[in-house]
């Protein structure tokens, strides 16, 4: 039987190990190395490291839909992805001191008034409860230890020799037959170093670019009452373009300037304190475009073209840029028309402007009372190319990438990827 080393005791690594020992795999053949602490020693300020990783100190919301939280169904199909999500949720319940308190919030049906123009993404979420995650962690850890799984805590993996199958830490080197690489967001730099060192090919990524839209909140209130962080979307399959509203902020909602690679782009945030209430709403209107040859370079060019006087652009038929939460102006050069936007976006600006026109139909008071900050952009981090049947690297079939280190963005998908790999290991031993 294979000797398995799991780098990262986060959500993905722990779910993988659990699947293995649940099915009789000898725990003694599994070693999990983590740079953080075991659940008994882990301190609240250790947000990203230790048993259950970032998931251990998270909000404990387990999303339950294949369109949310990263990629699973692209590897294994919808039905299998949902089956794996169920397994992750069952694991959280199983080690929960009060499993009956794990509840699923049921979204309401899509309201009729938006239907002709947009879809509204509503998805179920299981709530584990932050307060219980520590207890879950301890119970879960005890189970794995009882099954013989070896843990190395406070041990950072510094290098991995893919050719000779060993993992290097500051004081040891450990051989493996199979490696599960589950380092999460806290290990993303390490993952990128390895990708460079071993020249790992990437998954082709779509472009994600658009604008940050802002308007007084009352125009959107009837939708906000149904879904605070509403997600409108539409898709043009034949044109390889889809659009969605992204990261909605309300009540005390501010637009923020981001500086990436020396250029300005926009994002938004909401303050919790009532003192900051400005009764505004802002959200990204992001477009995902498939089939652009070098999406990173293309996006960089678009962003560059949308800079004027050292910052991004603002357009509104009637309004001025808003103030920041500190009371200053949001840095943006106001333009009188959208010529620069149409020029920069290479034929794709029309999708955004159609989205806004249709919002005016479903929110009839909106009219000209809105503004857009240009651009909003997401530079997607490279994702190593893996074999879809077991998430192993195409050039190194005994090395499996899982969780946020691959393509997950949340707990359910990370756990599901771990279990998926474990199933493959079980089938081949």
Give the footprint of ligand FAD on this chain (CB under 6 A).
7-13, 33-36, 47-50, 53-55, 58-61, 63, 69, 156-157, 182-187, 190, 403-405, 408-412, 414
Overall size of the chain counted in residues: 429
Asked if 35 and 155 touch (Cβ cutoff 8 Å), the reply is yes
Q: Which is nearer to ligand FAD, 241 or 402 (CB)?
A: 402
Q: Least distance to ligand FAD from the beta carbon of 352, Å?
A: 29
Give 210's strand partners. 286, 376
Nearer to ligand FAD, 19 or 219 (CB): 19
Determine the Cα–Cα distance for residues 144 and 148; give it in Å rounded to an integer: 7
In the complex with ligand FAD, the residue whose CB is nearer, 180 or 330, is 180
* Least distance CB 413 / ligand FAD (angstroms): 7
CB of 172 to ligand FAD, least distance (A): 12
CA separation for the pair 234, 239 (Å, rounded): 12
Backbone angles phi, psi at 418, to 5 degrees: -60, -45
Q: Tell whether omega for the bond before 152 is within 30 degrees of 0, i.e. cis.
A: no
Shortest Å distance, C-beta 232 to ligand FAD = 22
ω before 95 within 30° of 0 (cis)?
A: no
- Measured from the CB atom, is 63 or 281 closer to ligand FAD? 63
Q: Which C-beta is closer to ligand FAD: that of 212 or that of 378?
A: 378
Task: Report the residue number whose CB is nearest to ligand FAD.
Answer: 10
Paired with 16 in beta bridges are: none
Nearest distance from residue 311's CB to ligand FAD, in Å?
30
C-beta closer to ligand FAD: residue 56 or 312: 56
Distance, CA of 323 to chain centre: 29
**Closer by beta carbon to ligand FAD, 185 or else 360:** 185
No. of H helices and E strands in the chain? 11, 23
Least distance from ligand FAD to the Cβ atom of residue 421, Å:
12
CA proximity to 402, closest of 3, 7, 59, 130: 7
Structure tokens at 273: 């304190």
Provide the minimum distance between the beta carbon of 49 and ligand FAD in the complex, in angstroms, as a whole number.
3
Query: What is the C-alpha to C-alpha distance for residues 421 and 400, in angstroms, rounded to an integer?
Result: 7
């Amino acid at each position: 039987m294979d000797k398995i080393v799991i780098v990262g005791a986060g959500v993905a690594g722990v779910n993988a190990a659990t699947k293995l020992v649940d099915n009789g795999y000898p725990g003694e053949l599994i070693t999990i190395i983590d740079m953080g602490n075991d659940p008994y020693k882990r301190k609240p300020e250790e947000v990203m490291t230790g048993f259950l990783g970032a998931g251990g100190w998270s909000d404990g919301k387990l999303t339950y839909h294949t369109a949310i939280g990263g990629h699973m169904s692209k590897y294994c199909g919808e039905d299998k992805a949902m089956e794996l999500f169920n397994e992750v949720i069952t694991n959280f319940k199983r080690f929960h001191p009060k499993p009956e308190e794990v509840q699923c919030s049921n979204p309401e049906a899509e309201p009729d008034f938006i239907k002709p123009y947009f879809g509204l993404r509503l998805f179920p979420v299981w709530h584990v409860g932050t307060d219980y995650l520590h207890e879950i962690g301890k119970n879960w850890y005890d189970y794995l230890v009882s099954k013989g799984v070896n843990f190395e805590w406070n041990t950072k993996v510094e290098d991995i020799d893919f050719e000779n199958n060993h993992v290097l830490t500051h004081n040891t080197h450990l051989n493996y037959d199979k490696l599960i690489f589950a380092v999460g967001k806290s290990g993303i730099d390490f993952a990128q170093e390895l990708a460079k060192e071993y020249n790992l090919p990437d998954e082709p990524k779509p472009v994600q670019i658009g604008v940050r839209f802002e308007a007084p909140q009352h125009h959107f209130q009837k939708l906000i009452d149904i879904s605070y962080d509403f997600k409108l979307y539409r898709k043009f399959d034949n044109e390889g373009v889809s659009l969605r509203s992204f990261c909605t902020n309300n009540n005390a909602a501010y637009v923020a300037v981001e500086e990436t690679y020396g250029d300005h782009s926009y994002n938004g945030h909401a303050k919790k304190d009532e003192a900051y209430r400005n009764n505004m709403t802002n959200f990204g209107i992001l477009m995902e475009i498939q089939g652009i040859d070098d999406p990173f370079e293309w996006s960089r060019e678009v962003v560059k073209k949308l800079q004027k006087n050292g910052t991004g652009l603002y357009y509104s038929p009637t309004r001025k840029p808003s103030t920041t939460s500190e009371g200053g102006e949001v840095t943006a050069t106001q333009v009188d028309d959208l010529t620069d936007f149409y020029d920069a976006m290479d034929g794709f600006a029309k999708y955004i402007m159609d989205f806004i026109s249709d919002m005016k139909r479903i929110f009839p008071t909106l009219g000209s009372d809105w503004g857009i900050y240009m651009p909003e952009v997401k530079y997607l981090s490279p994702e190593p190319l893996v074999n879809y049947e077991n998430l192993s690297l195409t050039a190194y079939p005994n090395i499996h990438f899982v969780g946020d280190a691959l393509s997950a963005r949340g707990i359910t998908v990370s756990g599901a990827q771990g279990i998926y790999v474990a199933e493959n290991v079980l089938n081949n031993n």
